[in-house]
Amino acid sequence: MIEIKCPTCKKQVAWSKDNAFRPFCSERCQLIDLGAWADGSYAIPTKESPTDDEENTPTTPPENEDE
């Protein structure tokens, strides 16, 4: 069995296909690492940026239903 170290918490974790979060030990560590990427802590270029240009904020005027 192959064991690797979780890049986030350095815990020994088995590299198996049962581990959906490999090379991380858990989803939490995966998310932490992704957060680090977004933070610019990692210098490895990725072209996959999430589509955050969908800022659909409808400007609904406030309704005064008291009148």
> Site residues (CB under 5 A) for Zn ion?
6, 8-9, 11, 25, 29
**CA–CA distance, 11 with 30 (Å, rounded to integer):** 13
Nearer to Zn ion, 18 or 63 (CB): 18
Nearer to Zn ion, 18 or 54 (CB): 18
Nearer to Zn ion, 27 or 45 (CB): 27
Least Å from the CB of residue 26 to Zn ion: 6
